[in-house]
Amino acid sequence: MTLKAISAPRLFDGNHYHHNCALVWQEDQIVSILPMSELPNEIEHQHFPNGIIAPGFIDIQVNGGGDVMFNNDITAQGMETICRAHRQHGTAYLLPTLISSTPQNIQAALNATEQAIAESVAGVLGVHLEGPWLNKDKKGAHDANLFYAPSSDQLEQFQWPTQGKVLVTAAVENIDSSALNWMKKHGIILSCGHSNAKAAQLTEEKLSLVDGFTHLFNAMSPFEGREPGVVGTALNTDHSWCSIITDGIHVHPQSFVLAHKAKPQGKLLIVTDAMATLGSKTNQFVLDGETIKVVDNKLVNSNGSLAGAHIGMDQSVANVIKWGIEEDEALRMASTYPAQAINCNDLGLLEPHFRAAATVLDDNYQTQAVVVDGYLYQ
């Protein structure tokens, strides 16, 4: 079987740096990291003379890309288009994200996930259901008319995928513990988001069932002196991860740095929350009958309210490095930590027996290539 390799002046395996080395893989599995001088002559090898090879970026919140909103094209083909658009920005894998929708569309998203993974659609790790189990007081761009608090019986009615990861963002203060327990028992990763909870509503029992918090600071009750809210609770819950949008628009850089200081290492990770405009030709799309446009590099609805982000993972990483985060930590926030957050134990590191997945960046942290399951995309 053919060995393949990519090399660059620097390679970061998720723990350590290697210089003038190559990542070697066979089929879809990493074999080794070798000095370039030790590469066999017959190996299929591509060298990138500038930049760095890092573990493949993983984005666990992607609403769209390439002129496709997942909500408007709830198919395996729609997922494929979104993945293709995001590979141009360094994302090897992602969770297509369904913004609050009907039970019929939720089922369609679960079916599309099953199909995409069965057909080995490059980059699809599963699906993220962002709602409709949210709090109307923190609805953001979601349609609050769709919101409800699911019971265990209602959750049981869905046909959940047998493969891939399922991440659910929910306002846990509104949902009975029995339904939260049902999700956990069925392997669903649970994140608190679009929540207006007071700290007292996020009980020890409910927090024990929460794996993470979705887009920290955005669409959640704020941290105040006499009321920690969801933000304060998220920062103070050490076992939980927090995803965060680092476009410099959704969250102030100082707030990001403060969150990074507050959370244990490994528990703050980057998401883009990107919409159909990333990699698009039109710079606008329709969601629930409303036109969303890019204005001054921001996505806004007709009221001028933020409606998702217009950024890729590579620029997100570049931003946090500019804000003072060490390069190795920034790269982990885009790869290692998301893999850990959704229990992908064969991703997030460049080590033997891990999946062959890598992101190649230039010296300005812009994408040169991406490896997904052993296939090199440029």
- As a whole number, mean pLDDT of residues 53-74 equals 97
CA 157 to CA 170: how far, in whole Å?
Answer: 18
Residue 273: active-site member: yes
Q: Where in the chain is the domain with CATH 3.20.20.140?
A: 57-341
Extract the tokens encoding 359: 């992101």
The DSSP line for 64-115 is EETTEEGGG--SHHHHHHHHHHHHTTTEEEEEEEEES--HHHHHHHHHHHHH
pLDDT of residue 280: 85
CATH topology classification for 57-341 = TIM Barrel (3.20.20)
% the chain with pLDDT above 90: 90
Q: What percent of the chain has pLDDT over 70?
A: 100
* Cα–Cα distances in angstroms (integers) from residue 324 to residues 109, 268, 313, 320, 321, in the given order: 38, 15, 17, 7, 5
At the second CATH level, the architecture of 3-54+354-377 is Roll (2.30)
* Least confident segment among 19-28, 35-44, 264-273: 35-44
**DSSP conformation class of 171:** -
Structure tokens that stand for 207 in this block: 């927090």
Q: What is the pLDDT of residue 282?
A: 81
84-140 residue pLDDT tens: 999 999 999 999 999 999 999 999 999 999 999 999 999 999 999 999 999 999 998
pTM of the model: 0.97
Query: What torsion do the CA atoms of 223, 138, 132, 180 make, to the nearest 10 degrees?
Result: 30
pLDDT tens column, 213-224: 999 999 999 999
pLDDT for 305: 76
Q: How do 241-245 and 29-35 pair as beta strands?
A: unpaired
Quick one: tokens of 31? Answer: 């074999």
* Average confidence (pLDDT) over 230-239: 98
List of residues 6+ apart from 301 with CB closer than 8 A: 141, 290, 291, 292, 307
Estimate the crossing angle of helix 313-322 against helix 327-334, to 10 degrees. Answer: 150
Q: Has residue 288 got a pLDDT over 80?
A: no
Peptide bond just before 35 cis, omega within 30 deg: no
What's the rounded Cα separation, in Å, for the pair 202 and 268?
20
Assign residue 140 a region: left if phi > 0, alpha if psi is -120 to 50, beta otherwise? left
Q: Which of 67, 247, 273, 314 is catalytic?
A: 273
Q: What is the Cα–Cα distance from 275 to 310, expressed in whole angstroms?
A: 6
Residue 338 has pLDDT above 90, yes or no: yes
Cα distances from 93 to residues 65, 124, 183, 236, in angstroms, run 13, 6, 23, 29
